[in-house]
Amino acid sequence: MHQAKPRDSRLMNRFLNAIEKAGNKLPDPALLFLYGIFIVWGLSALLSMTGLGMVHPSTGETIDVKNLLTGTALATFLAKMVSTFTSFAPLGIVLVAMLGVGVAEKSGFINTGLKKMLSVTPATLLTPMLVLVAIVSHTAADAGYVLVIPLGGIIFHAAGRHPLAGIAAAFAGVSGGFSANFIPSSVDPLLQGFTQSAAQILDPGYQMNPLANLYFTGASSIIVIAIVWFITDKVIEPRLQGMAKLDDDVEQAPDLGSFTPQESKAFNIAGLTMVAGLILLVVAVWPEDSPLRSPNGQITAFNAPLMQSIVPLIFLLFVIPGIVYGRVAGTFTSPKDTVHAMGETMSTMGSYIVMSFFCAQFLYVFSQSNLGTVLALSGAEVLHTLNLPGEVTIVGMILLTAVVNLVVGSASAKWALIGPILVPMLMAVGISPELSQAAYRVGDSTANIITPLMVFFPLVVVYCQRYIKDTGIGSLCSMMMPYSLALLVGWSIFLLVYWALGLPLGIQATYTYPVS
């Protein structure tokens, strides 16, 4: 006789099942983006006739919905179709990084590394360890999407747990906890630049430190790990174990419980090769006049060549140790084996490449139509007219950012749009730009994992399909919804408590304006 599930648990399962059922009735992601193009074309034609538009706060320019069904617009769309696809940033990032990761995986370097990691990681701490690694991966730009998330599935599968739970936990750490990091990254100066420019609309002399949110994002790491750990072990994995069975043709979980002396020797040599490469990188970056630094000598600045070379560095830091491991362990006997490993990895990326083509075209027409811009500015205008107390306004800003994130995926693009409205508005009621930016980061991060418009969302669907072929957008959305809701509520409360306690947000940061 089965023990009855608590009422709350049954309601949650019904809710998530409804999301999954509805979402999986959607077409294949590639077709979804194709249909989205036609919808945007139709809406742009209709709304352009209504005169709907908003005034951009920083330029004073009126932004109208553009009709994309004109002959000129359609001709431009066709002319740019190839360049739109080839310039789709996630495509190059994923494929280049996967070439290096593929060599490291096929040679056995990654599997042996996982064996060694699992041998020292208690089973009960597997989830928080994975989430911690996912959060730290933000330092390497988009590395988490192409490395940590698929490894989450491999690690959980090898540990006898559901691989989709590992993918979900890693996805929640990489994308849901995007702004939770105790290590500075290129995101900090990127957002700071937009925030400072927005603040200077009201106060032309306002200056802001790039690490103005460092302490808050570092403390947020603990909160994100705790929330994702709880949701994974108590909500997602039990639901998956009862519903989502692995396909019959899924490979047996790799034996990560033991490794041979030869494998250990090969890993140690390859690991030393990787460490030597990192040391060389540090030596190259260390001089203040290093060509890898930005023109003003910063390492983590968005325009620093080092930050722009993260993906090529990932390629090198995996392909070289992968080759060394393969030669020592005997899994690679000739240079052809390295090329073959890359080819096998690329053969698994076919569906992602197809989705990327249609996704790139959709994002292009959506951007050209100005629909996302008008929606974002309209939402910010509504928040402005409400004129709520500071704490309520901050929560409203978080919710607005999360909603806007569903239609404008880029963190910098969203902040460039709504920042010039929200930052001066909140400064006028005594809230500092540093606090506004912290609130924005919470809202932006927590909605990343439930919007199919996030450029890496289709890639995560592909990762899931390696284990359950009929995984669709609805399956992934329903799996990630509890993380999104829990992070949105928990992280927002944490920000309010952090604010109430007066804990430092970051370097040279205050909560109030003018600076007291």
Percent pLDDT > 70 in the chain is 82
- In sequence order, which residues have a C-beta less than 8 Å from that of residue 299 and are 6 or more positions away? 285, 292, 293, 306, 307
Banded model confidence at residue 201, pLDDT cuts 50, 70, 90 = low
Q: pLDDT tens, 41-100?
A: 999 999 888 877 777 655 667 778 899 999 999 999 999 999 999 987 667 877 887 788
Say if pTM beats, i.e. exceeds, 0.85: no
Residue type present at position 192: Q
Phi–psi pair at 254, nearest 5 degrees: -60, 140
Please write the tens of the pLDDT for every residue from 255-300. Answer: 555 678 898 899 999 999 999 999 999 999 998 889 988 888 877 6
Instruction: Give the C-alpha separation, 210 to 215, whole Å.
Output: 12
Q: List Cα–Cα distances, 305 to 139, 156, 184, 297, 507, in angstroms.
A: 15, 36, 16, 11, 24
Whether omega for the bond prior to residue 424 falls within 30 degrees of 0, making it cis, is no
Given this model, what pLDDT does residue 458 score?
Answer: 81
CB 374 within 8 A of CB 65: yes
Q: What whole-number distance in Å separates Cα of residue 306 and Cα of residue 291?
A: 9
- CA dist 237 and 130 (Å) reads 15
Domain boundaries, the chain: 16-501
